[in-house]
Structure 1
């Protein structure tokens, strides 16, 4: 399957994509991590995109496609996290996949009220080592002795309140036609993501047709 994870900033796209990818052995393609890697490496792409990223503006379609496309292995099973963000990007993705006889199989839209997003962004931290995202209260970074993620765990530049507000305004403007696009294709699943992460993960897996998963206290596990 070729999957896309949609939702506003702070909705938990990276967390849910990472969980689903781990459970189903899919490749997690994070456009945010790709962009940040280019910026940290000082590539031409990185220098060009850094200004957009700092201002909380959407990266131009041509530029983002050039960064994302090499990661979309036609024969692989992948989940796109944070892309597409606009109807134009969705159509570009459709066209690129159709050239090799493929298409997006399922689009998952995570919905969270704006008031809850404000609180999430305040406590969100990003690991410079792994690219994983954490919440200081509800999903804190692992302790050093666990050797799961060395960090450091930092607050992203685009989590600044003024940048986040611009991102949220842009999201609400762009999600309406994007949502309609996937609804018309008959592949959209909308999930209430303002709940405990394990509950959301179970619903994501069910939406993908994997019904043999149950919620345990700390994880989602395959039945029996």
Structure 2
């Protein structure tokens, strides 16, 4: 910022007033100091060479700019803190939740159920969901969903036998394009990259997935 005396040509008495202004602890002039200097300048200006309107407006513009920058910086700091806190809260709330991911391997949730969805590219007159033991391949359960329209068709098996560790899900239909299976899998970890990037989820059996890929949470 330009020195005020060099802008206005204020005399020695103004310089003495300026010397008496107390600086802030960080060694810079604050808003109060600026107003004190401005008042002293107006009181001690040369009556034969008063401050021009343009000079006065230029100083006020400088004052407004500095004040505005300080306000913006403070606001951005508050927003950054709020975003950081929100990201941490989101990460904590996702732990041990089940999220919908494309895949066929599913594990019973805390209530002993397996949940998912079949994505149909076109309407089908019949849709079947087959649940098999992930290790032996033996069929454990079959579900007939009947006629379904195009889109995501949810399915649930709520009475999985106790002790079942992992189940392989397959979808059958009479459509030309095979249905795409989706299952709910547990979130076992959440990574918070620096720089405001998106959260990365560690999903059981499916590894790392961006939070932007998640469309449904149980």
TMscore range, shorter length:
under 0.3
TM, length-normalised to structure 2: 0.22
TM, length-normalised to structure 1: 0.21
More helix as a share of residues: 1
Bigger relative contact order (CA 8 A; separation at least 6):
1
Whichever of the two has the greater Rg, that structure is 2
More strand as a share of residues: 2
